[in-house]
Amino acid sequence: MAEGLANRLRELRAERDLTQAALAEAVGVSRKTINTVENGVFTPSVHLALKLARALDCKVEDVFSLDPKE
């Protein structure tokens, strides 16, 4: 993940009882992409971030935020 960028993807996905594969299917990417976003390895594009937020029925800033330590 880009320095100073935090995400709550894993937490929000778990709250909705979604597997990584189910979320991947909903947004049209591979499961590995979801996994790497959750682990902070990959920073998604704005387009994918918006699709993730829509799939989780929340605002994009609920999923991604600036690291408060920054």
Q: What crossing angle do the helices spanning 20-27 and 46-55 adopt, rounded to 10°?
A: 120
Name the one range near other proteins by CB under 8 A: 4-12, 39-47, 60-68: 39-47
Name the one range near other proteins by CB under 8 A: 6-14, 33-41, 52-60, 61-69: 33-41
Contacting residues for 66 by C-beta, under 8 A, at least 6 apart: 4, 5, 6
Neighbours of 7 (CB within 10 A): 20
Q: Interface with other proteins includes 24 (CB under 8 A)?
A: yes
Which residues form the interface with other proteins (CB under 8 A)?
21-22, 24-25, 28-33, 36, 41-42, 44-45, 48
